[in-house]
Structure 1
Amino acid sequence: MSVSIIPESAPFTPEQRSWLNGFLAGWAGVVDDPQASGQGLAGALMPPPLEAPAEEEEDEDFPWHDPALEMDERLKLAEDKPLKRKMMAAMAQLNCGACGYVCQTYSEAIAAGEESNLTLCSPGGKATAKMLKKLVKEGGDAPAASNGKAEAAKPAESGYTRANPYAARVKACYNLNQAGSSKQTSHVEIELGDSGLAYEAGDALGVYPTNCPDLVDEILPLIGAGGNGDVKQQLVEKYCLRGVSDELLEQLADAAQSETEAADLRGLIDSDELDVLDVLDVLKRAPSAHITPDQLFGCLSPMAPRLYSIASSPAAHPGEVHLTVGRATFANDGRVYKGVASTMFSDRTENGHAVGVYVHKSHGFNVPADPRAPMIMVGPGTGIAPFRAFLEEREATGATGKNWLFFGDQHAATDFLYEEQLSGMAERGVLNKLSTAFSRDQETKVYVQDRMREEGAELFAWLEEGGSFFVCGDARRMAVDVDRALHDVIAEHGGMSDEAAKLYVATLKDEGRYVRDVY
């Protein structure tokens, strides 16, 4: 979701326009990294000032700005570029805004010395953080890696934003999957109360999660704070316990009474093993190291918000916002690691639960402006979220355009999210066509891209009628496969060469008729 507020015709250089877009988006709720206390504490610094060098060409191209490319491919495309462009290539290329910037402005802020936190790119995760750290060391003209505790900035003067989230209440939270499913998907309904927060179908909701209290209870005795309620509250609400900073490893190594433990901790710096370990893991690896809670706090990053595609239309649910959140866990070496926000909803949220939220505008991922235009949506799994909102919006506003949804998951009997609602929409003529792909219901796995190819003639006809094509979900696999299928369908049923099909797709994008919300 890119941020574009300043028009191309405005009398600014590309770098000035980019910074202004980031600055204005920041005041609208994108910039500043809070400490997740629910009080609107800020963290990230603003992007570079207008006086920053503007040495780039007027029509600078960013060929690496494609989330479908692997990082090594993106970096190869940027290998002859300045440091800030190499850093941009290391980002996840989603312009999601979760970091408080977009990919270009975040990388420029790091290279200019205005931002020292290298761990803000949530979609890129540790892979991006490690590459940024490597580039900083090689570049020599950017700030050293930081634990993320940046200088505080003032919260927004009015309104609820990333820097000043609204303390909303959860109205309902329940599992959409049926008994026997290997998945758990939470449908979450949040009351917006008197916040004044407004959103459109296609926007995202920023959510400040809290850590699992059981995880914190394991950490407390390791820092001499067993039974300390204040320390527990801070660790539950304010700090990220998933990532391990170099500062924490050095702190523990210096405090360790065992040379073996100290060497082990220092050996973890720049190690791939650190991709899996969290704060609890490294504390356990150094039982002879005694650090205080304040020392630990000084080595932790503030809790960052998570962005979720909104699953409701404000016209259908005034005063509320709905989410569709898949529970994320993974096991390693006998321990189960939990996704912070997803398990907060699935395991620890009851009606009335308070959660800090703000609205993040989509900037282009919305229902077609023409209510008569056909709409094609591809959203397997939790990717269905914005398309539930799109369909509700089209029904509530009386839009007459045809609607076609491609949905997929593992099993129809247990994983058909919102089946009853979708069936009702089909009966009322709101959902004109529903194509499903339940991959585990037959010997040969079938996915949404397979259904696209099977129904390619009709799909191409909808595009020729002026239809818009939307995709939501996994950027690495699903979105790449869907994009490839779209090219194949256009080439086959449009009687085009591969090059002509590429041009057709490029035109769809230029016209705002091929839009993706991928992560």
Structure 2
Amino acid sequence: MKLQVINSPFSEEQVKLLNELLPKLTVEQKIWLNGYLSAPQGAIKAVVEEAPLTIAPMTKTVTVLYGSQTGNSQGLAEKYAALLKEKDVEVTISSLASFKANNLKKTTNLLLVVSTHGEGEPPDQAIQFYDFLHSKRAPKLEHLHYSVLALGDSSYEFFCKTGKDFDEQFEKLGATRIAPRTDCDLDYDEPATQWFTAVQEVLLDSPETAISSEKGEEDTKDSKSSYSRKNPFSAEVLENLNLNGRGSNKETYHVELAIEGADFHFEPGDSIGIQPENDESLVDALITALQFDAESKVTVFEESLTLKKALQNKLEITVLSKPLLQKIGAYTVHGDFVALLKDDTAWKDYVKGHDLLDIAGDYAPFTWDAQQFVALLRKIPARLYSIASSQKANSDEVHLTIAKLSYENNGRTRLGVCSGSIAERIQVGDTLPIYVHKNPNFRLPEQEDTPIIMIGAGTGVAPYRAFLEEREELGIEGKSWLFFGDQHFVTDFLYQTDWQRWLASGTLTKMNVAFSRDTDKKVYVQHKIEENAETFYEWLEQGAVIYVCGDKKSMASDVDQALHRIIEQQGQKTAEEAKAFVNELKQQKRYQRDVY
């Protein structure tokens, strides 16, 4: 409503000025002005005569949320929140699991750092908030200013889908972007830094006041150690032992690494990242197939080196993705390759089990030179392996459990980049470049005597060895129950003597095993869980925390379905009530998953 001149103490010109100003004032500014004008006249006169009126800038408030499965998003969110606090920004930081969705109505500035899990799915801790935001209950958010940093892996079809979904939904609900969404691949440091710089320039109103995010510690860096993902520690191999017996279909290696001098600090549930190299014979074959000179110089990540060293030490050559195929398409007119790109089913089938050597053989010739070729490729991603030991029990060592990936395709044996090296080339006395990767979403309970239920198949049992070694070292007497599955009892019972020793001492209370190839009808861990449904539910009622580690698509999915059925049947709940119960377990960190 406009001011009227009639019966007003203001002149027409003053009314005009007031009518121009008042609609532009925020609620906070109006409140401040009202208080200022309500002060005693003498006080106002004294202030005005002493100095011109100056209004202190209002404190910026920012909410930083994260949705993280393995800890990367949480690490970045915590780093950026700390940097903003250094500039007197009032920051609230929270996981999506802990954030009350209704608080969106009170939030003005929101930064969201979120990863995408599996085939385009939100992380476990983000599911409930994701569902709320996409439901009819989601509020209008015209008052909200936001920006999304999305983490993902471009080798998956639905790259950064969770971040994209959040970004689009905020916009649909009326929110305004502070800065455009940034989608990060596995090597996320540089694009994440650029995103944060853009966000700061808007939030802090001036490019000059923006803070360098390089100042904060890298999220994969241990707080006490100078070693990190960018600067790995060279750890000597103390032991490299195949755990599987003679005649097994598998090779699973127990690897012990010396970490004295690294100043690493890790907890059960954390992982070790290994920076691997490509197999030299595969690199040589690829260079020959592409008819390049192995000693020709190329520039990779601002470093000049030979083509062979670039392909062996720096660049990924074993994983194909849709983005990579599209880049390759610019350098070939091969009819079959063009058809492959256009057919969704065809390219998805092709990328499974094939690599760049297959591309070179199947779709030559190409018009690229060596520099153009390497410019298409991303860095070799580090491989993460769950730590299988307690630092409290083994202060100068870290143990890993690594399964060799090996298969035949097109008459050629294919090996996992890191696991193949561990199995076939790494000897005791060699060194591996490693760093600690924190995973705050897979942790022993804060209340030490809380019952725990551990579920895993194959190498998924690794973190539970760390859990029980830690509990043994600390003398914790809480109940523990392990469900373990593999193929054969005789050849594949990983760490059998450890479990038996802990059962005898009481560190491990119960254990159920499922060896799928030892019976006519295949039996898996989810079957053993359902066989013990009544006791399983009793442990849940006693406050037990459930852990699941291993393959996401089959084992973890089947276990999740079994958990829902047990809660329905034993708790006499509907399917919807069971789903809500499971979501509540996740919110309370009583259902934690480290799945891949």
Q: 1:280 to 1:200 in 2, by over 3 A?
A: same
Give the structure 1 partner of residue 504 of structure 2.
Answer: 427
Residue aligning to 2:404: 327
Say whether 1:25 aligns with 2:75: yes
Question: Among residues 316, 333, 351, which one is paired with 1:275 in the alignment?
Answer: 351
- Equivalent residue, structure 2, for 1:491: 568
Render the CA deviation track for 1:360-409: whole Å, top value 9, x for unaligned. 22213112222222211111111101111101111011001111100011
Query: Is 2:289 the partner of 1:217?
Result: no
CA deviations 1:67-92 (Å, max 9, x no partner) are xxxxxxxxxxxxxxxxx999899635
Query: Are residues 13 and 151 of structure 1, via their aligned partners in 2, closer, same or farther at CA, if it must alter by over 3 Å?
Result: closer
Matched, 1:338 2:405: no
1:515 aligned residue: 592
Q: More strand per residue: 1 or 2?
A: 2
Paired residue for 1:166, among 213, 233, 258? 233
CA offset at residue 28 of structure 1?
A: 8.1
Contact 2:453 2:546 in 1 (8 A): yes
Q: Does the 8 Å contact 1:249/1:282 carry over to 2?
A: no
Does residue 239 in structure 1 map to residue 269 in structure 2? no
Structure 2 match to 1:91: 120
1:436 is aligned, of 490, 503, 513, to 513
Using a 3 Å threshold, how does the CA distance of structure 1 residues 88 and 321 change in structure 2: closer, same or farther? closer
SS of 2:265 mapped into structure 1 = coil
The structure-2 alpha-carbon separation of the partners of 1:510 and 1:484, relative to structure 1 and needing over 3 Å to count, comes to same
- Give, in angstroms, the shift of residue 58 of structure 1: 7.8
| Distance in structure 2 (CA, Å) of the matches to 1:198 and 1:514 | 25
Question: CA separation of 1:270/1:373 partners in 2, compared to 1, >3 Å: closer, same or farther?
Answer: same
Normalised by the length of structure 2, the TM-score is: 0.64
- Equivalent of residue 347 in structure 1, options 415, 420, 424: 424
Aligned with residue 253 of structure 2, among 186, 200, 207: 186
Shift of 1:176: 1.0
Q: CA deviation at 1:239?
A: 0.4
Structure 1 residues 168 and 94, CA, compared in 2 at 3 Å: closer, same or farther?
A: farther
Q: How does 1:16-415 map to 2 (within 5 A)?
A: 16-18=64-66, 25-26=75-76, 59=101, 91-94=120-123, 121-122=152-153, 125-129=155-159, 159-221=226-288, 222-226=290-294, 230-244=306-320, 261=334, 263-269=335-341, 271=343, 272-273=346-347, 274-276=350-352, 277-289=354-366, 291-415=368-492
Partners in 1 of 2:539 and 2:67 — Cα distance? 39
- Displacement of 1:450 after TM fit? 1.0
User: CA offset at residue 422 of structure 1?
Assistant: 1.2
The answer as to whether partners of 2:530 and 2:562 remain within 8 angstroms in 1 is yes
Q: Report what 1:81 is aligned to.
A: none
Structure 1 residues 283 and 22: CA distance shift in structure 2, 3 A = closer
In structure 2, the CA distance between the partners of 1:12 and 1:458, relative to structure 1 (3 Å rule), is farther
Read off the aligned partner of 2:317 and give its amino acid letter. Answer: L
Which stretch of the first structure deviates more once superposed, 342-351 or 86-95?
Answer: 86-95
SS at match of 1:476: helix
Which has the higher mean CA deviation after the structures are superposed, 503-512 or 431-440? 503-512
Shift of residue 18, structure 1, vs aligned partner:
4.1
Distance 1:443 1:188 in 2: 34
Q: CA deviation at 1:251?
A: 7.5
Distance 1:147 1:462 in 2: 38
Residue in 2 aligned with 1:464?
541
2:117 and 2:123 in contact (8 A); partners too: no
Q: Deviation string for 1:475-512 (max 9, x for gaps)?
A: 22212221222232233334444444444433433332
- C-alpha displacement at 1:240, in angstroms? 0.3
CA distance in 2, matches of 1:206, 1:371: 28
AA of the residue aligned to 1:121: G
Q: Is the 8 A contact 2:152 2:184 kept in 1?
A: no
Does the alignment pair 1:453 with 2:530? yes
- Letter of the 2:370 partner, please give it: P
RMSD: 4.3
Tell which deviates more after alignment, 509-518 or 418-427.
Answer: 509-518
Structure 1 pair 245–127 and aligned structure 2 pair: CA distance change class (3 A): closer
My pick for the range that moved more, 16-25 or 160-169, is 16-25
> Residue deviations 1:397-440, cap 9 Å, x none?
10011111000111101111001111111122211211001111
Q: For residues 114 and 296 of structure 1, do their structure 2 counterparts lie closer, same or farther at Cα, with a shift above 3 Å needed?
A: farther
Q: 1:361 to 1:288 in 2, by over 3 A?
A: closer
**Counterpart residue identity of residue 316, structure 2:** C
Contact 2:115 2:152 in 1 (8 A): no
- Which residue identity is paired with 2:382? P
Question: CA separation in 1, counterparts of 2:392 and 2:464?
Answer: 14
Q: Which range moved further: 265-274 or 318-327?
A: 265-274
Taking the aligned partners of 1:179 and 1:307, their CA distance within structure 2 comes to 27
Q: Which AA in structure 2 matches 1:127?
A: E
- Residue of structure 2 equivalent to 1:67: none
Query: Secondary structure at 2:552's aligned position in 1?
Result: coil
How many equivalent residue pairs?
A: 441
Query: In structure 2, do the counterparts of structure 1 residues 113 and 453 end up closer, same or farther at CA, with 3 Å as the change threshold?
Result: closer
Structure with higher Rg: it is 2
Residue 95 (structure 1) shift = 7.7
SS at match of 2:158: helix
Report the CA distance shift for 1:113/1:264 in structure 2 as closer, same or farther (over 3 A): farther
What is the identity percentage for the equivalent residue pairs of Structure 1 and Structure 2?
34
Q: Which has the higher contact order (CA 8 A, sep 6+)?
A: 1
Instruction: Read off the aligned partner of 1:126 and give its amino acid letter.
Output: Y
Matches of 2:293 and 2:102 in 1, distance apart? 53
